[in-house]
Structure 1
């Protein structure tokens, strides 16, 4: 789950993007202008920002430049507009925008841009960590196996600790695999109680049911176990 900020002066677009991104399992904050966006950015870090270009107080490109100058452009920013020119898009990219979406935004283009932006953000977050890791001596034949992330590495133990995840996959598929294992683990541990699972995972029951169906989680598995 990623923390995403949506900045747009149109209520309908904010609500639509929020609903779509929430359904994808992300945590979404909304801002209707640059003033609210500044407050939200100052209050916490985001994994991604969707930023409208044309807004009544300060336009999106000016806000993007402001963040870049202040060193606050630490996350991918996807610009959005239905009236922007090519020059505007080029300028935003030069300042530091990750990509540009033209309104009306299709679901497929939105999800693809968000997925790519989060993938780049994850890579940037891992880069400093990787640089601090000690060198690993190659095995016989010069082959070094790719790392496998397990629930044991995430601090869990017990019968689910053997679960591994293939990281050599598109981000969306890898994330879905992890989320499915995550919810199956909590369902088993809570004896299939959706109320307790909702409390543990921080999701509302309605959204939790929708998410489990989307991932293909067997809701009776926890009770059988």
Structure 2
């Protein structure tokens, strides 16, 4: 079994060396940091299995560092606080923030070993690092978003999150979600039409997350309305997301106005990444740290020019696109540091890929019709037309089969059978 990694953070050299000798003799791999700055650097490079953290340090006290890790989503390992001037109030404050336990100096050997063993066992149950709303940044727009979410955290009424794809809607919903309750991100919208109450059974006292409510068919919208009417009885909260203009869809007859009123009684707009560019350097470092924590990549630092280039780039895919670029940089860069040249290389690859994508225009259907060979026998010509017809509606509906069935006025089973007959892949 691999030895557990313990990080000891203490400004007193005698304490550091004593703990190093004791823990190393017990078979642990021990790293030492004499202040908060060194501890930050180590935490960026890897996730220790346990941190022994002194409260009183010259550059930054341990409570502040604990809060900092908690606010940045990096408090995913057990932390045991240490102090020679400990009080009950300090211990309570530390455990409230997220510390596992509290040790007073001088630390008795058996107490130390017992606490370390218990903390490591507790650490096995902790979730690994993941992106959270706290990773999104500290800019005014993100701080305001967080405050508004905190204000409605205790409300059970439906919530509509409005924002571009990839802007962080799921992070906002999970910020409101109680981790000890059910969570369901609905991917099969047809369940809303066929068994909406079964969905409520799955998320009783928890949260139902609908990634794009505008994609619901008429029947699915009716099912969602029924689900919302019964949600209180199940103690469930429904969070819907859209990147589209629902009022325009109502005017076009594609979205139910009563449903819109039901889901938008409480609504929030999620900022685009371009609205808080100042957060991009911290976001990039946080994403990189999460990849290192997961063991997927080796630690690499970003140089200043690389971070500036990321901040000034265009991000039409928002946080999701930034995450892809950071993952690419961490996996494919060759040096110990990620440089401006690395960032330009990856961004140019994405730009070249986008430029190579075929442009789908509404006129493409007309061009296809013009190219039909009407000298063929009727059956073959009809198949060609139907193939073009269904391909047009698939593209128009973004391959959403419920929307296609509604547009062409075919029952879904018949639609799938027709597509198979014509040799068209539904997805």
Q: TM-score, normalised by structure 1?
A: 0.55
Instruction: Specify which structure has the higher proportion of helix.
Output: 2
Note the alpha carbon deviations across 1:82-138, whole angstroms, 9 max, x for none. 102211111110000000000000100000000000011123369xxxxxxxxxxxx
Within 2, Cα distance between the matches of 1:67 and 1:112? 25
Question: Could you tell me which residue of structure 2 aligns to residue 98 of structure 1?
Answer: 100
Within 2, Cα distance between the matches of 1:3 and 1:41? 12
1:44 equivalent in alignment to 2:34: no
Question: Could you tell me which residue of structure 2 aligns to residue 9 of structure 1?
Answer: 11
Within 2, Cα distance between the matches of 1:40 and 1:50? 13
Within 2, Cα distance between the matches of 1:45 and 1:123? 15
Q: Pairwise CA RMSD of aligned residues?
A: 1.2
Unmatched 5+ stretches in structure 1: 127-225
Question: Could you tell me which residue of structure 2 aligns to residue 108 of structure 1?
Answer: 110
Within 1, Cα distance between the matches of 2:31 and 2:47? 11
Question: Could you tell me which residue of structure 2 aligns to residue 31 of structure 1?
Answer: 33
What is the Cα deviation at residue 73 of structure 1?
A: 0.3
Within 2, Cα distance between the matches of 1:21 and 1:45? 18
User: Highest Rg: 1 or 2?
Assistant: 2
Question: Could you tell me which residue of structure 2 aligns to residue 211 of structure 1?
Answer: none
What is the Cα deviation at residue 72 of structure 1?
A: 0.4
Note the alpha carbon deviations across 1:136-165, whole angstroms, 9 max, x for none. xxxxxxxxxxxxxxxxxxxxxxxxxxxxxx
Unmatched 5+ stretches in structure 2: 129-427
Structure 1 residue runs of 4 or more that deviate by more than 2 Å after TM superposition: 123-126
1:118 equivalent in alignment to 2:124: no
Question: Could you tell me which residue of structure 1 aligns to residue 81 of structure 2?
Answer: 79
Within 2, Cα distance between the matches of 1:122 and 1:28? 18
Asked if the contact 2:77–2:126 (Cα under 8 Å) also holds between the matched residues in 1, the reply is: no
1:59 equivalent in alignment to 2:94: no
Q: TM-score, normalised by structure 2?
A: 0.29
What SS is found at the alignment partner of 2:57? coil
Asked if the contact 2:51–2:79 (Cα under 8 Å) also holds between the matched residues in 1, the reply is: yes
